[in-house]
Amino acid sequence: MKKLVIIKIAFVFTAIFYCGITGAQTLAMKRSKDVKVQSSSKIVDDMFKVIHDRSDHNMIRNPRILRHFTERFADISDVQWYMVNYGMLAKFIQQDIPYTVGYDENGAWKHTIKYLAKRHIPIDLSKKVDKKYANYTLLRAHEIHVPNHQDTIYIVQLQNEKQIKHVRFSKGNALVVRSMKRWISE
């Protein structure tokens, strides 16, 4: 069950990473008159249905969700709640770091994801990445916490002049989740 949840989360992050990459690729593709391109942010926005974007949480009917969320994020004032196919998501920014917290339809906490820009990536993780992938530049990372999994999971995005890699770091191990050739040069 844990592996299934982790695989699903990795898939979601891979999709989010690709949406970010798609933004850059969109600029290149717009030069072609034959190709119609939809904005990557529009695609991501269409994945979620905003059901509540105020801080009073009145639209959230499940007390289990509210209890968990307010215990861990009491100081958050600007939260957007989304209904997704498996339950609900809360999206917010805390100390300049975007977060997503997921709950299932019964109100059980499923994951917390921190979207880390390069400047927010922990130094020890950065050193591990630099040691193992010396020929790559570390771009960003997702810090993932899931129930019954004590270790923090990181999905990092790396690139060099030829490839982009998404690598999962957990328990001191690294696993390449996705690797693809770069087709846009800087």
Strand partners, 166: 157, 178
pLDDT one-digit tens code per residue, 85-94: 889 999 999 9
Please check whether residue 101 is in contact with residue 71, taking contact to mean a CB–CB distance below 8 angstroms: no
Cβ neighbours of 92 (radius 10 Å): 18
Give the residue from 146, 80, 82 showing the smallest Cα distance to 114. Answer: 146
- Count up the domains in the chain and report the number: 1
Residue 55 belongs to some domain of the structure: yes
Residue 137 lies in a domain: no
Asked if the structure places residue 66 within a domain, the reply is yes
Per-residue pLDDT, 175: 85
> Does residue 171 belong to any structural domain of this protein?
no
Q: What's at 71, amino acid-wise?
A: E
Question: How far apart (Å, rounded) are the C-alpha atoms in residues 168 and 129?
Answer: 11
Tell me the pTM. Answer: 0.67
Is 25 a member of any domain? no
Which residues in the chain show pLDDT less than 50? 11, 13, 15, 17-56
